[in-house]
Amino acid sequence: MPENIAAILPELFNATGQTLLMLGIGLSAAIIIGGPLGVLLFLLGPGQSLSHRSAFAVLSWIVNTVRSFPFIILLVALVPFTRVIAGTSIGPLAASVPLSVAAIPYFARLVEQCLREVPRGVIEAAHAMGASELQIIWRVLVLEARSGLVLALTVLAVSFLSYSAIAGVVGGGGIGDLAIRYGYYRFQTDVMVLTVALLVVMVQVVQFVGNTLARRLDKR
């Protein structure tokens, strides 16, 4: 094993844990807040049961505005907010704040798109049988779109693995921080290659698990 890599193994394990922590917090925020937001976007859309043009336009504009920010700019712009929430602007917990803010509208839009693929006839049949809006959401929309929702969450996880690496540029910790400190500033190419390879492996694992679960949930 090359000397450089052997020397940083403890830091590599710690950085991997930090990356998984950031990813876990970001995905949790996306599911808890972004999921319902996506459902609301769908229900407020044209032709849906809660259709409201003005509310949909405002909510859609907010989602698109947050999504339009490059993550590195969002990371810096949210520093004051991050200090209020996390008590600091550096470290994995601090980086999780802008990651969560970016993940929420991203996942909301993915959820909306998944729900739009549910056949209109299925929703109308549920309405005809007297199902409430809450029952339609859980027993029709989410159930019918579950495979697509899993794939949407997989896409989000893969994207935010790279976002968590970007957080290392401003001291967010994780694998990206390790790559910057050793691979870039100290010109240790073997460390850079190792961190890239580790991220590739993590992406492949996430994608494989997501695809497998989505295939099992797909009842078509």
pLDDT for 57-79, tens place per residue?
999 999 999 888 888 888 888 88
pLDDT tens-digit map of 9-58: 778 888 888 889 889 999 999 999 999 999 999 988 887 777 888 989 99
Domains and CATH numbers, the chain: 3-217 (1.10.3720.10)
Q: Write down the pLDDT at residue 170.
A: 67
- What is the DSSP track for 36-105? HHHHHHHHHSTTSTT--HHHHHHHHHHHHHHHHS-HHHHHHHTHHHHHHHHS-SSSHHHHHHHHHHHHHH
220 has pLDDT over 80: no
Q: Is the pLDDT of residue 173 over 80?
A: no
Residue 171, helix vs strand vs coil: coil
pLDDT tens digits along 97-153: 989 999 999 999 999 999 888 887 787 787 778 777 787 888 888 888 889 999 999
Rounded to whole angstroms, the maximal C-alpha distance in the chain is 69
